[in-house]
């Protein structure tokens, strides 16, 4: 074969290989955070955090959708935990993306609420003078609810366009176990690298994020046909167990172990504490305090990007108490 032709073929193959190495990484690399409270008001630390870290996008949970179990209500599903925007709060100058969480039980009834949901998002934006170009949906769908969720996404895109009078970008959260299935028909996904373990299991070391829980899934990223951002956790929690080591409660809000009576806490191991003294079998006996080190977050970030490519980062979530546990260089490394 002519040497010139061989060189040309080699160059084309090289170009093709370079182009296909990370064909999905087309999303702009904007820094982002979630806001997951029912009252929107940021303190000075959080405002400064947005500025210092060049946060360009904020994903704000607007409300959840769950089954309506009230006996006297005709609607099968209802919105719950709706956010309220403080009247004296000036919304940050960032791209705001409403997020709606839909329970797996509710998504089966999507045909009964899709239009109402789209209108509710529109009404909340109008009321609070929020201009949007995107809406994100969060649902822990499985094989049994996949078709319902996927059809909902198709239908809600049309409904959103009707109310907003323009095309609205639709994104979806993607859980690790969902990487094994075909992706939903959305513009992009946000891969949730948190809540990776079983928090109800007493022997789980850290259910928020553990590298060993992520490793089995990253192989699916190489052929995952959807542009992705990567969501990483900055939060902590306390899990409560009774004397038989059975799960009692997940304490998300009063989430530092020192909020308990420390005089009665006996450390058993890393993050595990026992309430000293005799207690009834069904009473609180053990607590597991979990938070995620910067080292673990960066290790997971590196593992995921090794299998997918560089990804825009979303921190979950904007909370001064949680974020202040990391220094400036660690935060910078999360986003880099």
Band of pLDDT at residue 111, cut at 50, 70 and 90: very high
Tell me whether residue 314 is in a domain.
Answer: yes
Beta strands, E only, the chain: 31-35, 39-40, 55-67, 77-80, 84-85, 95-102, 134-138, 169-175, 188-192, 228-233, 237-242, 247-251, 265-269, 272-275, 284-290, 313-316
**What pLDDT does 81 receive?**
96
Whether residues 127 and 265 fall in one domain: no
Tell me whether residue 65 is in a domain.
Answer: yes
In the numeric block, which tokens belong to residue 108? Answer: 């089966």
**What pLDDT does 17 receive?**
41
**What pLDDT does 15 receive?**
41
**Percent of the chain whose pLDDT exceeds 90:** 78
More confident site: 25 or 189: 189
Domain of residue 176, residue span = 27-234+296-335
pTM across the whole model? 0.89
Band of pLDDT at residue 85, cut at 50, 70 and 90: very high
Whether residues 95 and 142 fall in one domain: yes
Residues 141-145 have a mean pLDDT of: 95
Whether residues 279 and 251 fall in one domain: yes
In the numeric block, which tokens belong to residue 295? Answer: 């080292």
Query: CA of 133: how far to CAs of 5, 160, 181, 302, in Å?
Result: 48, 10, 28, 30
Band of pLDDT at residue 74, cut at 50, 70 and 90: confident
Whether residues 46 and 185 fall in one domain: yes
**What pLDDT, in 10s, does the model give residues 224-267?**
999 999 999 999 999 999 999 999 999 876 555 556 777 788 99
Whether residues 144 and 280 fall in one domain: no
How far apart (Å, rounded) are the C-alpha atoms in residues 80 and 100?
A: 10
Whether residues 111 and 185 fall in one domain: yes
Please enumerate in sequence order all residues whose Cβ is within 8 A of that of 11, keeping only pairs 6 or more positions apart, or say none.
none
Whether residues 222 and 76 fall in one domain: yes
**What pLDDT, in 10s, does the model give residues 265-285?**
899 988 899 998 888 888 899
**What pLDDT does 260 receive?**
75
Whether residues 52 and 145 fall in one domain: yes
**What pLDDT does 278 receive?**
81
| Residue whose C-alpha is closest to residue 160's, from 106, 121, 217 | 121
Q: How many Cβ atoms sit within 10 Å of the Cβ of residue 73? A: 10
**What pLDDT does 265 receive?**
87
Whether residues 152 and 78 fall in one domain: yes
Q: How many Cβ atoms sit within 10 Å of the Cβ of residue 302? A: 11
Largest CA distance in the chain: 87
**What pLDDT does 23 receive?**
46
**What pLDDT does 8 receive?**
44
| Contact in structure between 216 and 177 (CB atoms under 8 Å) | no
């Amino acid at each position: 074969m002519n040497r010139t032709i061989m060189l040309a073929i080699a160059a084309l193959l090289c170009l093709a290989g370079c182009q296909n190495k990370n064909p999905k990484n087309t999303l702009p690399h904007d820094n982002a955070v979630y806001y997951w409270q029912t009252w929107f008001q940021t303190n000075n630390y959080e405002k400064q955090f947005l500025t210092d870290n060049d946060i360009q996008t904020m994903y704000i949970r607007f409300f959840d959708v769950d089954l309506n179990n009230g006996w006297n209500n005709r609607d099968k599903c209802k919105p719950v935990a709706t956010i309220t925007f403080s009247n004296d709060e000036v919304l940050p100058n960032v791209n705001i993306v409403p997020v709606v969480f839909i329970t797996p039980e509710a998504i089966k009834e999507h045909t009964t609420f899709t239009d109402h949901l789209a209108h509710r998002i529109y009404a909340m934006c109008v009321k609070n003078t929020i201009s949007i170009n995107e809406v994100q949906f969060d649902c822990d769908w499985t094989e049994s609810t996949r078709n319902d969720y996927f059809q909902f996404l198709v239908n809600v895109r049309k409904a959103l366009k009707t109310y907003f009078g323009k095309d609205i970008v639709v994104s979806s959260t993607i859980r690790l176990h969902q990487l094994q299935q075909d992706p939903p028909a959305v513009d992009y996904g946000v891969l949730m690298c948190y809540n990776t373990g079983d928090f109800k299991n007493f022997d789980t070391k850290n259910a928020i994020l553990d590298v060993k829980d992520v490793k089995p899934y990253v192989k699916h990223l190489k052929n995952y046909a959807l542009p992705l951002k990567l969501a990483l956790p900055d939060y902590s929690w306390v899990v409560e167990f009774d004397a038989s080591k059975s799960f009692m409660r997940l304490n998300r809000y009063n989430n530092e172990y020192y909020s308990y009576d420390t005089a009665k806490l006996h450390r058993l191991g890393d993050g595990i504490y026992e309430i000293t003294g005799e207690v009834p079998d069904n009473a609180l006996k053990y607590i597991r305090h979990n938070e995620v080190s910067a080292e673990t977050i960066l290790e997971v970030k590196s593992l995921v990007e090794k299998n997918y490519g560089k990804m825009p980062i979303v921190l979950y979530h904007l909370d001064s108490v949680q974020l202040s546990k990391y220094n400036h260089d660690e935060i910078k490394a999360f986003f880099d």
